[in-house]
Structures are given as C-alpha cells and as structure tokens.
Chains A and B, each alone.
Chain A
Amino acid sequence: MNHYYFTSEHQLFRKSLRDFLNREIVPHIDQWEEEGEIPKSAFKKLGDMGYYGLGFEESYGGMSTDIFYTMILVEELNKCNSAGTAASLLSHSTLALEHLSKNGSAFLKKNYLKPGISGDLIGCLAISEPHAGSDVSNIQTKAEDNGDHYIINGSKTFITNGIKSDFYVAAVRTGDKGYDGISMMVINRANPGIKTNALKKLGWHASETAEISFDNVRVPKENLIGEINKGFYYIMEKFELERLILSTGALASAEYALEYGLQYLSERKAFNRSLNTFQELRHRVAQLSAELACLKAFNYQICNALQLKENVTKECAMSKLLCTEFMDKLSYQILQFLGGYGYMEEYKAARIFRDSRIGTIGGGTSEIMREIIAKSIIG
C-alpha cells in the first residue's frame, strides 16, 4: 500500500530517521522510562536534524513538507517501544508549534516558533483543566485585561512536557462563558507565579505530565495567538491533525507490537512445537492483521484528504476512535501471547499494554468521538 502515498524520498527520509532514532533515542529509553522524563538535549537533537520543522515555514527554519513526512515521524517514533517517549517528543511540534505556525504573529513566530523548530525552546499545549477536559468550552483559567498585558489565574492539568517546557500554548478565558470567550496565548515559563507538579501515571512513564497553576501571571499582549476569543475555533481546527497523529501513532505501535508478538510466537515452544503453529493463535493473529491493514488504509486515505484541505472532521474522529480502541485490543492480545512473560518488565508487552490505555482518552475520548460522529450523521 505504501506506494500510493509514499515516494522514494519519503522512504529515504524514513530510513535516515530510523537510523537517527536507533542511535540517539532508543538506547536511552529504558532510562527515561525509569526517570519519568526525557532530557531537553533529546529535543535539541531532533531539532538539529530538522525533524521539528516538518510542515512549517522555511522562513522560520521549517520545511514545507507534506503530511506524510509528519506521519513518518509519528510512525517511527512510535516504533521505539515507548509511547511516552513518542508523545513527549511529538507534542512539542505537533501540538504547541502547530498553533504558533498556523495562527501566531510574526513576533511569536520569531521568538517561539523558530527556537522551537531548532529545539532550543520546548513548548507544550495546555488546554485541559481539572474541571474541563473534553468539554473545552468550559475552561476556567482566567486572563484579565490589564493594559498592555493580561493577568492569568487558574490551573491546567494532564499537560505533557508541562514542567520542562519553556513556554505554554495555553487556552485561557478572555471573554464570557462558553466557547466564544476563549483565547490562545503563549505563556513564558520564566514568568513568576507559575507552579508545576508532576503527575504519576499508569503508563507513558517516559513522558512528563504536569499539573500547572497560574497565580497572577503577567503575559504581554503580543503573546496572544491570533484573534481574541477565537481560541475555541483554533483548537477545533487543530484537532483534525492531532487526531490523525494519534491514530497513526496507535497503528504504528500496533504494528510494532504485532511484529514483536509474532517474533515471540515463532521462538517460544509449548507441547513440543512453536506457538505460532497453534491454530487458535494463528487465527487471532490473522484477525488482528486484517484489522490493522484495514485501519491503516483508511487512516492514510484521510491524511491524504486532510492534505487536500477537505473537511474530514467526521473521518478523523472515526479513525481516532477505531485506531486507539484497536490498539487496546491488540496490546491485550500481544500480552496474552507472551503468557507470564507478558506480565514481566523484562519483556516489552507490559509497557506496550499500559502505554496503549491512554489512547482512547487523550485528544478526545472515544465517547466524544462517537458524539462528533453521531452529530455529523444524525444531526
């Protein structure tokens, strides 16, 4: 299927990226999982290689590449056996920088996008709050107009890279209740009044997840992204790409996990024969392979349509729903293939299993996806 979407340039890019990851990222992953975070130097390395510039303006150090380069980055990072690592390294560019590139002023691009692309500054997207996750229109963090700056009060939670980040691309309330009172702005981490706290998680151990509080934080007005009170729409616009990235990531992890499971099945013996000769397991593999191939073809097709600027809100929700739920199913099965070893940290299945579980929650839960799809089909 690759040949319909990926040119030989894409394949070469993939190969060189894979070499880079095998050299610079993979050897450190177990340590990062242990420590619960990824050092800033890793971001810088990706920046030096230009990986944070994919799809962004050349004038700020980016490369105006097509969406399939971005998806290759997503896929290969998700095949390093640590979804937390992938999430942490990717959210900087695909969440935070995306907003700056799409809606930011020249000032913001110069001061945050450019150093973000080079990996000198790390950014994160801060939307969810203790009382508003999927329900974005309900966010409470207040930005009060105070002459040439805003004063921010409130808190954010579940923020990937929320501690090490140099700046937040944050959703704040500048207007009335509801979705018409939300703005996006860049909050520099160096400002006084910001406190962060690392959250402990079921999985995604390599990725740092923070709770952030803002106590009278002063943000200059030029840090407003795009127009005032348009934040909700900016967030919604970016959801399409974000969801495709999540579904692409889930499928790449699934492919990685399935290959790993197949390898194990071919080596492990029971009752004097390889596990991969037992019909029951073979059929389970067949079913999973078929579903994986199907979702991959579907997902690529949507990537292509998004690139051609079609309205794919419904399809992105469908793909996110199906791919992340599929990954949960698959990771459960792969662990089962490994038996007792699947439960041991010495093998990869345990991490694959726990890392998968966030898929159906982050970026809009499965329930929200079904709401979106139902609305678009039924009205």
Chain B
Amino acid sequence: MKNYYFNEEHELFRQGLRDFLNKEVVPNIEKWEEEQRIPKEIFKKFGDMGYLGLNYPEKYGGIDADFFYAVVFTEEISKVFSGGFMAAFAVQQFMSSPYLMKHGSDFIKEKYLTKAISGDAICSIAISEPNAGSDVANIRTTAVREGNHYIVNGSKTFITSGVYGDVLITVVKTKPEEGFNGISLLVIDRDAEGVSATKLKKLGWHASDTAELSFDNVKVPVENLLGEENHGFFYLMDGLQLERLVGAIGGYAGSEAALDYSLQYMSEREAFGRPINKFQVLRHRVAQMSSEIESIKYFVYHCCRLHADGEYVVKECSMAKLLGTELSDKVMYQCLQFFGGYGYMEEYKMARMFRDSRIGTIGGGTSEIMREIIAKMVIDDKSYQKSTNTHIIKSKPTNGSMNGSSKTNNNTNNQKNTTMSYESTFNTMKEKAESAQPLGSVLKLNFGENRIVIDGTKGANQVSGEDIDANCTVDVSLDDFTSMLNGDLNPMGAFMSGKMKVKGDTGVALKLQTLFS
C-alpha cells in the first residue's frame, strides 16, 4: 500500500539519514552498549547534519520541516538495533528540548535551545522521582524562591542522559502544598553546584545512561524558569502527547526491524531439511505479527497526522503508545523464538532487541496509565456517544470522488428523456406535493430563472412559483429534475454527484425523497 503521509522529499531524507546512521552509528553500537554511554561527539555530528532541529525554527538553527520528517527520523533511529541509542536521541529532540521551544524565554532559547539543536548540549527531562513516577502531581523536589534564584532540593530517578548530559529540564514543586497546581519546570545545568548523579544499572537500553539525580541546595537563576510558575503540569501534559507518539513509533518501527531481521534468518536457517520459513506455523505467526505491525503503524500515522494538524489528541496518542509498545514486546518475544538458541546469544541482535523493548510499556506513562486516560475519555467524558450531525453542505464535491465518465453518460440519457417543460413540471409537482404529507417548512426548487416553491408550514403543502424565503433551497437543472420525476435519476444520487445543490436546512431536502415515491 502506497503511503499517503510521505512524499519524495521525505524518502530522500530517509535515505540520507539511513546512510548517515550506517556510517556513524551502526558500526559503533556494540561499543556504546559495552561502555554504557554514547559519546558526546555523536550528538554534535547529528547536530551538524541538522537532524536535531527538524521541527524548530531556522533562527535557532532548526530546519523547520513538517512533522513527518520527525516521524522518519524516529523510525530510522529505532531500526539500529539499540533501544538505548534511540532513547537518547528521542529524549534530546522530542521529549526535552520541545519544552525549551514552546515555553522558554528568548534568553532560554538562545542559551539552551540553540545548543540542543546544534548538538552542543545533551538534554534530559527529569520528571520521575523515587516515590512518584506516573503520578506526577505527587513529586517532592522543591524549588524555593530566594531573590533572583530558586533553591532546589530533592531527587529524581530514571533520567535518560542524566549522567553525561548537560541540561536538565527539571520538574519541581514551587508550591509544595498544591498538587498539580504547584508544579513548575526549571532548566538546570547538569554541572551546577549541588547536582550529583548515580548511574543506574538496567535490564536493557545499555547504550543510554540512566541517572538517579540528587539536588542539594542547587541555585537556579529565576530566568531559567520555563513559562509561568505553577503551570508546569499542564506543559507536561501537553508535551507528553509528542513523547507518546514517539514511543508508539519506536514500538512499531523496532518491531519492523526485528521482523525483517528474523525473516532473513528464517530464510537461511534450515531444519528437517528445509528452510524454517517453509513451516506453516511459523509462516502464520509472521503473517499475524506483520498484520498487527501494519495496522498499528497506519494508526500511528493517522495520529501523527492529527497531531501535525494541530489537534490535541490525548486519547489517540495514549492509544497509540499503548498499542505500539505492547506490540513491540510481543514481537520481540516471538522473533527471539524464531532464532531458537541463537536468539538467546549476544552474537545475534535479538537478545538486545528483546531486553530493550521491555521498557516501552513503562516509560512515558505505563500501559496502565494509558488505559486510565483512555477509560476516562471513553467512559467518563461519554465521548462514545454519537455526536449530533450538523452539516454545512458544500456546493459541490471538491474533487473527483465521483466517477466522472459515467456522469457524462447519464447527462446524455437525461437529455434524451427530457420531455417536460417548466409548466408541466410545475403541475406534476403541485399534484404530488398537495397529496403528500406536509413538509412542515418551506422548500424552494430553483431552475435558473424559474422556480417551484413548496410551502408546507400551513397544513397541506401549497405550491407556487413565487420567490419567497425558504428554509431550504435546492439548485437543480430542469433536465435533471424531470429525470428525477420520471424515475430515471435517483434524487440521492443527484445530490451526491453534485447535480443537485442544497442550501439551508438539508433535512428539508431529505423530504424531497417522499415526494417522488
């Protein structure tokens, strides 16, 4: 299926990025996994290529591209077989620096955003604490205003790039007695006095460093506040939508990479005298997984489109994140199984894919939190109730959704069949309308100069040619209209193909149908 979201430029961009990753990243992954860190120079290389400022304005060094470039970027960094690598770069561009862009003052943008985009500064977002993860309103790290500074005390944990990074966008309580109304975001330099980090050991994501941070009377200048004081919670909720979309993309893109890798293996590996990709049960498992990957991928594209169109799609982003990351766990498990014993060995990539995937359903809001959000929107907001239809009818279908050639045929037919003059049409309509149920409103049929007006507001329908105000006006050619009267043209069809244009209360026009039956 061709893709409607990406054009040729996107594909060129993808190719260039892939070449770059193959040259600069892929050969080094094992080393970085081993060393449990990604060297700073690699961020700079990404920055030099413009890859870290895809959706940022040019004045800060960004390239101001559309959102689907970010989708391409995320897909490709998810396919280098290192979730840890992917995480560091996803955090840099989509989970931390957007707060600088959206809520930062000019000072902050100049000082921090430009460096995040150029790759000179590695950024982190510090939300979770030892006692508050998904439950953000309950964080305890405090920032107390003292003159031109905030004094920050507390601790953070699970912070990606927090050990070797440069900038910590830190979630603090500026009003500790308040819940989500007392939260602010501060930009804190990693090397500020009083900030210390401990590196955490993890099941997977080995290439990325993950820190436990402690803040001991850290002095942060007030100009490092992002946006307004005590608005932090709302900034986070807003920013999390992008974070979740990125998580969802990572989920299906990583799954795609793992499945491709497995298919290669299955075509080469033999058992019982034939390649294992000939065994029906494995083939069907591949079919099932690729169907699920494909469906979730297109759903995520759809959500990305909504996001790019500026819609605030909390429910859809939560759904995407839930489905994309759970998919990944399932796919990694199965793909490892395809490799048998080799799947368990570090020599092959499946072991890493498997362990790296496992954090997906936890970071950025657990699956359980996603379901909480969705349940709230689906059940409590009653958004499942059908909305009432209010329509503004366009005068004409805008594009070729109807089959043009058949329409032409039909026109010729109509002309052949037309025998009725305006007068006889008028008389026929008068007869039909007067014997039909009252319309309850005024309907005007406009045939260029002539018209038929059916007034059904005073008991029985009254038919005249006078140009009075109507609840609904139908523009139609006399030819087409007589075709309808003759039963050669379906009124609904005429409406859908634009032969009949309806203005005003379309409900009235619907009643036209009753006049023809």
Contact = CB atoms under 8 A, between A and B. Distances in A.
A50 B288 contact: no
A228 interface: no
Contacts of B201: none
B257 interface: no
Given A301-B1, A321-B291, A293 B316 contact: yes
B497 A64 contact: yes
Contacts of A15: 389, 510
A21 interface: no
Nearest to B507: A15
A194 interface: no
Nearest to A316: B1
Interface in B307-342: 315-316, 318-320, 322-323
A13 B374 contact: no
B374 A8 contact: no
B127 to A, nearest CB: 23
Contacts of B378: 262, 285-286, 289
A53 B403 CA distance: 13
Interface string B230-264: 00000000000000000000000000000000010
Contacts of A369: 287
Query: Which of B283, B398, B490 has the most chain A CB within a 10 Å cutoff?
Result: B490
Contacts of A290: 318-319, 322-323, 370, 374
Interface stretch (A167-175, A219-227, A371-379): A371-379
A370 B283 CA distance: 8
A145 interface: no
Nearest to B392: A8
A192 B439 CA distance: 50
A207 interface: no
A345 B315 CA distance: 34
B379 A16 contact: no
B393 A9 contact: yes
Given A290-B319, A319-B295, A373-B290, A59 B389 contact: no
A294 B506 contact: no
B402 interface: yes
Interface stretch (B57-65, B406-414, B454-462, B467-475): B406-414
Interface string A240-270: 0000000000000000001100100110000
B496 interface: yes
Query: Which of A11, A63, A69, A283 has the most chain B CB within a 10 Å cutoff?
Result: A63
Nearest to B385: A259
Nearest to A118: B487
Given A58-B493, A283-B368, A378-B263, A298 B294 contact: yes
Interface string A291-307: 10111011001101100
Contacts of A65: 402, 493, 496-497
Given A11-B389, A15-B389, A49-B492, A310 B2 contact: yes
A298 B379 contact: no
A312 interface: yes
Contacts of B506: 12
A11 B386 CA distance: 13
B284 interface: yes
B1 A310 contact: yes
Nearest to B275: A378
B107 interface: no
Contacts of A302: 1
Interface residues of B, number: 68
A367 B284 CA distance: 8
Nearest to A369: B287
Contact of A286 (B1, B4, B370): B370
A297 B298 contact: yes
A305 B3 CA distance: 9
Contacts of A293: 299, 315-316, 319
Interface residues of A, number: 67
A302 B1 CA distance: 8
Given A8-B393, A48-B517, A258-B384, A286 B374 contact: yes
B379 A282 contact: yes
Nearest to B498: A9
A66 interface: yes
A57 interface: yes
Interface of chain A, helix or strand or loop or mixed?
Answer: helix
A63 B389 contact: no
Nearest to B401: A66
A291 B323 contact: yes
Nearest to B305: A4
B490 A53 contact: yes
Contact of B299 (A11, A48, A59, A298): A298
A370 B298 contact: no
B230 to A, nearest CB: 30
Contact of A59 (B319, B379, B406): B406
Contacts of B292: 322
A104 to B, nearest CB: 16
A335 interface: no
Contact of A262 (B1, B384, B397, B497): B384
B70 interface: no
B405 to A, nearest CB: 8
B208 interface: no
A369 to B, nearest CB: 7
A289 B374 contact: yes
A119 B154 CA distance: 75
A377 B1 contact: no
Contacts of A317: 291
B401 A63 contact: no
Nearest to B412: A59
A265 B380 CA distance: 11
A327 to B, nearest CB: 14
Interface of A: 1, 4, 7-9, 11-16, 19, 48-50, 53, 57-59, 61, 63-66, 68-69, 258-259, 262, 265-266, 276, 282-283, 285-287, 289-291, 293-295, 297-298, 301-302, 304-305, 308, 310, 312, 315, 317-319, 321-322, 367, 369-374, 377-378
25 contacts: A9-B397, A50-B493, A58-B409, A58-B493, A59-B413, A61-B490, A63-B492, A63-B496, A68-B401, A262-B384, A265-B379, A283-B375, A286-B375, A291-B323, A294-B295, A294-B319, A295-B299, A298-B298, A298-B299, A305-B1, A310-B1, A317-B291, A374-B283, A377-B287, A378-B263
Interface of B: 1-2, 4, 263, 266-267, 277, 283-284, 286-288, 290-292, 294-296, 298-299, 302-303, 305-306, 315-316, 318-320, 322-323, 368, 370-375, 378-379, 384-386, 389, 391-394, 397-398, 401-403, 406-407, 409-410, 413, 490, 492-493, 495-497, 506, 510, 513, 517
The 6 closest A-B pairs by CB, nearest first: A64-B403, A63-B493, A373-B287, A286-B374, A290-B319, A374-B283
Given A50-B490, A282-B379, 8 more contacts: A53-B490, A53-B493, A57-B406, A58-B406, A66-B401, A297-B298, A378-B263, A378-B283
